[in-house]
Structure 1
Amino acid sequence: MRNYLIDGGSGTGKTTVCDELRRRGYQAIHGDRELRSDPKPGEAASGSAPDCHLPPIWDVAMVKALLANQDEAVTFFCGGSRNSSEFIDLLDGVLVLEVADLDTVMRRIDERVLVDPSDWGGRQEEREIIMHLHHTKQGIAQGWAIDATAPLEFVVDEILRRIQ
């Protein structure tokens, strides 16, 4: 069993990479959707002011159950997790999708918001947070950098090459 986190800022392609890994037959978990957990008392919820820029909190028990599962040779956990420090040491590695060009990030977010106007990045204040976090890299785990400006097939091929 090998387990990897795929992290990156908004618009770097975490969801798209997760979908492609699934299409190729890998177990890939949409962490932001499938592992989201309610915050503990006193913690701000993702999407609530003033901390709406925080990544979601993942259900650590669910993550650990997936880590313990011996049915899959490789599992990818895709997305940002505010509480990744509670499980990151149990992973075999972290891959960080990077897009250096802010215009590319914002174009991707515009495309995403066209499909779902309520998605992250649809409001001006969210866009400002995305731009700030793009420059600071705040909240992104440390790991192997993957150039996510390449075509999707190449990005996923590079991820798979790195874990071999």
Structure 2
Amino acid sequence: MSAGPGVWGDPLPGRVLITGMSGTGKSSVIRELARRGFRAVDTDTDGWSEWTTDAEGQPDWVWREAPMRDLLAEEARPLFVCGCKSNQGALYGGFDRVVLLSAPADVLLARVQARTDNPYGQTPGERALILHHLETVEPLLRAGADLELDSGRLSVAALADALEALATAREG
């Protein structure tokens, strides 16, 4: 059972970014952390992200940097943020930890096909793009992460437990 935020009455250190490919469970784990009473933000909304055009002229769903900087400046800790955006590296300095959720390709594809709360991944083209990103984007995320958790093997509750422990660990 979770003790919840602020159990010892002193400030908690953690601002944690939870990132990873589509289907790794970012949204599920952020909902679980919110259910446990933590400040938990899913950035896959118009309030936190916006469509732009990348250098190749392709649409790109990126973080709105000003609201994200304001969020990261808030006093409340711990703070959990989830998302995977092309400009997230510009904000890594605002996080205490960056955690990569990963899973095998077959798990990711099965999850995106089965989910009902997000239409992304339903078409063959989107599933092919997920596999492409697994090869090209995930290694970049891995290089910038402090920790990688295998969401193909761990339950949502176990992932949330690990993230909660990471965010509430006392600096010593």
Q: Normalised by the size of structure 1, how large is the TM-score?
A: 0.82
Q: Are the structure 2 counterparts of residues 105 and 121 from structure 1 closer, same or farther at C-alpha, using a change threshold of 3 Å?
A: same
User: Would you say 1:155 and 2:156 are equivalent positions?
Assistant: no
Shift of 1:122: 1.3
The list of structure 1 runs, each at least 4 consecutive aligned residues, that deviate by more than 3 angstroms after superposition, is: 49-52
Match of 1:78 among 79, 82, 107: 82
Q: What secondary structure, in the 3-state scheme, does the structure 2 residue paired with 1:77 have?
A: strand
Counterpart in 2 of 1:88?
92
Counterpart in 1 of 2:71?
66
- What's the CA shift string for 1:79-123, capped at 9, x where partnerless? 112111221112111000011x221111101111xx25x711111
Counterpart in 1 of 2:141?
140
What RMSD, in angstroms, separates the aligned Cα atoms of the two structures? 2.3
- What's the CA shift string for 1:119-158, capped at 9, x where partnerless? 1111111110111222332563621101112111111111
Aligned residues: 151
User: Would you say 1:14 and 2:15 are equivalent positions?
Assistant: no
Shift of 1:37: 2.5
Match of 1:110 among 108, 113, 120: 113
Q: Are the structure 2 counterparts of residues 13 and 29 from structure 1 closer, same or farther at C-alpha, using a change threshold of 3 Å?
A: same
Aligned mates of 1:105, 1:50 — CA distance in 2: 27
Q: Are the structure 2 counterparts of residues 147 and 66 from structure 1 closer, same or farther at C-alpha, using a change threshold of 3 Å?
A: same
Q: What secondary structure, in the 3-state scheme, does the structure 1 residue paired with 2:106 have?
A: helix
User: Would you say 1:31 and 2:43 are equivalent positions?
Assistant: yes
Unaligned runs of 5+ in 2: 1-12
Which amino acid in the other structure matches residue 60 of structure 1?
A: E
Counterpart in 1 of 2:125?
125
Q: Percent identity?
A: 27
Q: Normalised by the size of structure 2, how large is the TM-score?
A: 0.78
Q: What secondary structure, in the 3-state scheme, does the structure 1 residue paired with 2:16 have?
A: strand
Q: Are the structure 2 counterparts of residues 50 and 111 from structure 1 closer, same or farther at C-alpha, using a change threshold of 3 Å?
A: farther
